[in-house]
Amino acid sequence: MEIRQATAADLDAVGEIFAHYVTHTVITFMETPPTPAEWHRKLTELTGLRLPFLVAETDGRVVGFATASPWRTQPAYRHTAENSIYLSPGHTGRGLGRALLDALLARCAEAGVRQLIAVIADTGDNGASPALHRAFGFTDAGRLTAVGHKQGRWLDTLLLQRDLSR
């Protein structure tokens, strides 16, 4: 497995991975998968901000990705980012999420991110993501109750935070 910065050539695979979660789960609150043009804009934006957009590749195939995006648009938040990690459905439980999060934390610190926020949909059956983040030193920062509605369900989000300045 190789973890590396994403390129434009990776974005079709990234889009396919994410589209699965948009269409079949409530893990993301998006209801329509981003277009290829939107993925290209995201890669350009994050690269311009020096924020990581990483892919995990095995046997020449992208099987997961991780990003750090601005937490909010106001300038005072410029040292805070939100992370996202998505794995190809057939590649979960193999340590890819751990490898991506480890690399993402290092790249965020290099980019001057001081606080990294994880916003996790709390579906009651999504224990892997909070456990992964807690294993990497994220602590609970709060819960937003019934803030999302998707697939006929009201959903909470769990907020976790990691201080990268230490």
User: How many residues make up the chain in this entry?
Assistant: 166
pLDDT digits (tens, 9 = 90+) for 8-45: 999 999 999 999 999 999 999 999 999 999 999 999 99
What predicted TM-score, i.e. pTM, was given to this entire model?
0.95
* Structure-model confidence comparison of residues 90 and 115, the more confident one: 115
The backbone torsions φ and ψ at residue 111, rounded to the nearest 5 degrees and listed phi first, read -85, 0
List the one residue out of 164, 33, 158 whose CA is nearest residue 111: 164
Whether the predicted pLDDT of 126 surpasses 70? no
Q: How confident is the model at residue 154 (pLDDT cuts 50, 70, 90)?
A: very high
Fold of 2-163: Aminopeptidase (3.40.630)
List the one residue out of 140, 155, 115 whose CA is nearest residue 30: 155
Q: Domain limits of the chain? A: 2-163
Q: How far is CA 69 from CA 24, 72, 123, in A?
A: 23, 9, 23
**Residue given tokens 């991780």 in the structure block:** 66
pLDDT digits (tens, 9 = 90+) for 53-65: 999 999 999 999 9
pLDDT score recorded for residue 125:
66
